[in-house]
Amino acid sequence: MDILIWSGATLSFLGLCGLVYCIVRVAKARKSGMSDDDLRDEVKQVMPINLGALFVSVFGLMLVILGIFFS
């Protein structure tokens, strides 16, 4: 069950990296002085990445919990 825990931790870390990437990308867009429409388009482009990263992170945490439960 150690493999389940470590693979879940890896997935959670990758999801966290994706979330940080989304935060940095939107923060750069806000600081660049874009117009409201351009900023909304940027956020629309980042949103699927953000949701995917969140899903990967949650799935990884579920694997960690399952691994601890089965140990």
DSSP notation for 22-67: HHHHHHHHHHTT--HHHHHHHHHHHHHHHHHHHHHHHHHHHHHHHH
Q: Give the number of domains in the chain.
A: 1
The distance in angstroms from the start CA to the end CA of the chain is 6
| Residue 42 to residue 70: CA distance in whole angstroms | 42
Domain that holds residue 32: 2-70
pLDDT in tens, 16-29: 999 999 999 999 99
| Residue 56 to residue 63: CA distance in whole angstroms | 11
The predicted pLDDT at position 40 comes to 95
Residue 5's pLDDT band, with cuts at 50, 70 and 90, is very high
Q: Report yes or no: 14 and 56 within 8 Å, Cβ to Cβ.
A: yes
